[in-house]
Amino acid sequence: MFIVYLYWTQFKQNHKLIKILKIPKDLEDQRLDKYLKREFSNLNQSFIEKNLRKKNILVNNQKIKSKYIVKENDAIKIKNFSIELYSKFEKKKNTIEISKIIKKNFDESILYEDDNFIVIDKWSGIATQGGTNITISIDAIIKNISEAYNLVHRLDKETAGLLIIAKNLKYTKIFGNLFKSRNLDKTYLALCEGQPKMIESYVDLAINSDDNKKKIDTQTFYKVLYQKQNISLIKFEPKTGKKHQLRIVAKNLGSPIVGDIKYNLNKSNKNENLKLNAYQLEFTIDDNRYNFTSKLPSDFINFMKYKKIKFDYRAILGRLIYLKKFLNILHQILIHQFQFLIL
């Protein structure tokens, strides 16, 4: 349990209480809404958004958005503060009951776990986070295990594949920096209808923000690995991470993803699940190189078999990884030979 250093300033102004919290060094570099939820336990998102809009919550006396990244010595001013009002949000443990089946699915999805983070192979059909009409999510499951656990990125509900969970604030920040600096390599596999004009290319595409008020630049590399019967197996390597980025890119290539009911207007495979898989993650922390690979879902594999699409993982991993494996094997052989000569 970490110690939160709060610097309180309370005074009355027009009979209204104001509270000021100053951000300490060990709690900087996180979103404002996450910081507030940490300080006031189950403070809900709608309450935060409402009070930010009404300027009842300010940062350095400025109106700010919930996604603002707090810095050391930032002053968060909460107007109309009252212990009675904010005590409503006192933490309630296990507010969402997780069934044994869901818990079992989660346990079986764990590919890797140590003291600092977990990598799971998320199954299709479960949301990453809660929302309207969503009660069960990966976030709800991990919060039932420990309030300290945090998601460090997201996958669409329909997307299966690799998802990272940090076990503490330190590793939440580490992974946040890896994503921000683009030092975490992601590879996705998708089964798409049609074939792009080019076998491989980089795509720079401006897509709408969540509120549709502006365009956001995205970068994606893709390569067609196999094509048959108007179905293409495509490898995507996103360099940015925006909502629905790969689904929109696939549509703009003229090869929408099979089962994508939002961006694929073709009706030939309308009953299929979304054929998009977060297939590989590769990153380095403290000189340790991590590489994880998803097990493709059965519906993904069955669709490939039905369409007689060959799956050559060498094309997905790439020549560089094969060269690394070869050099590692050669290194081990030389070590053994050297030890034998000494003996």
For residue 194, the SS3 value is coil
Of 5-19, 48-62, 220-234, where does mean pLDDT reach its minimum?
5-19
pLDDT value, residue 10: 46
Note the pLDDT tens digit of each residue in 62-109: 999 999 999 989 999 998 887 666 665 555 554 678 889 999 999 999
Closest CA to 99 of 124, 126, 121: 126
The span from the CA of 274 to the CA of 158, in Å, is 6
> 190 — phi, psi (to 5°)?
-140, 145
The span from the CA of 196 to the CA of 179, in Å, is 28
Note the pLDDT tens digit of each residue in 310-325: 776 555 555 445 555 5
Mean pLDDT of the chain: 84
The span from the CA of 206 to the CA of 251, in Å, is 13
pLDDT value, residue 254: 94
Q: Which of 33, 74, 139, 156 is catalytic?
A: 156
Give the pLDDT mean for 233-249.
94
Provide the whole-model pTM.
0.69
Task: Return left, alpha or beta for 241; rule: phi > 0 is left, psi -120 to 50 is alpha, else beta.
Answer: beta
The span from the CA of 327 to the CA of 334, in Å, is 10
Q: Is 204 exposed, middle or buried (0-12, 13-18, 19+ CB in 10 A)?
A: exposed
The span from the CA of 79 to the CA of 318, in Å, is 56
pLDDT confidence bin for 211, thresholds 50/70/90: confident
- Listed in sequence order, the residues at least 6 apart from 138 whose beta carbon sits closer than 8 Å to its beta carbon are 106, 120, 122, 126, 127, 128, 129, 151, 163, 165
The span from the CA of 177 to the CA of 171, in Å, is 10
Question: Catalytic: 156?
Answer: yes
For residue 280, the SS3 value is strand
pLDDT value, residue 214: 86
Residue 117 neighbours by CB distance under 10 Å: 21
Tell me which amino acid residue 245 is: Q
What H or E segment, with its residue span, contains residue 203? strand 200-208
Has residue 4 got a pLDDT over 80? no
- Domain ranges for the chain, please list them: 10-87
pLDDT confidence bin for 226, thresholds 50/70/90: very high
Give the pLDDT mean for 38-57.
86
Which residues are registered as beta bridge partners of 59? 62, 76
Q: CA end-to-end span of the chain, whole Å?
A: 52
Give residue for tokens 């596999």. 189
- Listed in sequence order, the residues at least 6 apart from 50 whose beta carbon sits closer than 8 Å to its beta carbon are none
pLDDT value, residue 277: 97
Note the pLDDT tens digit of each residue in 142-166: 988 987 899 999 999 999 999 999 9
Has residue 343 got a pLDDT over 50? no
Expressed in percent and rounded to 5, the helix, strand and coil fractions of the chain are 30, 30, 40
The span from the CA of 270 to the CA of 11, in Å, is 61
Fold of 10-87: 3.10.290
